[in-house]
Structure 1
């Protein structure tokens, strides 16, 4: 897709962007004390790291979406800066009939990890699959709406960890990761998948919520991203 962007008038705040989307993360679950009242002995603040970051070290806001409030149109708005094309309803919201630009497409290189329902949206262009966007996706069968879906988020963090470790032995990959205009996109679907089958404040939804910010693996991954001077953003595309 041809580029129509304007030359930047000010230098960017970071050389690399680390975009972590917690799909299905409700604002009330993050900012309300004891958001799981039906779960005995549940923590008053189940995601202390996210709450503290938003309150003391980061900027945050609550988005207001347009229908349909699904993952796909939310990510199109988040990364493409536009609402989903209305004619996409004719494809069951599985494909956007109109080609659109995105943050990933404007990067020098993008590394995306997550759901096969989301990532392919941003790799298709006029010339076919994008060569600058590399994707790691689990199988669709892993999106099991009948059980705790924490494993989906762990899978994403594992793949990112493997990429960073591979860079220690691959000079070309290491140089690419340290270059400018590089984007890392992590789509965490665990909360959304669990929320489709269970109540928002149910016991089954608590483990993926806590693991999102409290697992040692998640903290180590975030620390690696921060040390690479990336811009760390946590976003929720849905209400």
Structure 2
């Protein structure tokens, strides 16, 4: 898989260009719970939307799955691959917007269990999975703001995400530019974490100061070093 930068963000996968229009389509499917609902919301024809989903799946694998039965009568959900695709696209858009300075949030903790290069670290924010050097016990975990994904508490996106670390907090500050936004989330009295997202994502999540939100990130994106204290 290769990522190609241009004036208009797109992902190039096996000669298939995935654009913002495709990402908008996937988000609409997730929000409406069906391809027909997504087509209606976006003002597109259902056959055209369905064909585009099939084209994309030929390059990246399954993007949707059918859910049958239940009080809602079933519907369509995004797969983990589709949600990862959305995150990749958002990260590329952040890069193209000219973000040159990416902050790092630091969380202190103590290693309580090891799993090879990864370890479980007990922190004030809760137990986190991180990459920890051998023999280190008291550590500082650094997380880049462009590696942090924000999701609404209890949302389907949060339930299906593959990101191992999920911290519930409250938005305390929003610094918005033309296309890029830095969101500060207070996890506890002494732990804060920042996330860089697009203005589109901010609007979709409906975030404002005081909003509850989940800050999620991969264990491989959490890098621990021995504490200096």
Q: Which bracket does the TM-score occupy, shorter chain normalised?
A: under 0.3
**Higher RCO by CA contacts (8 Å cutoff, separation 6 or greater):** 1
TM-score, length basis structure 1: 0.27
Greater C-alpha radius of gyration: 2
More helix by share: 1
More strand by share: 2
TM-score, length basis structure 2: 0.28
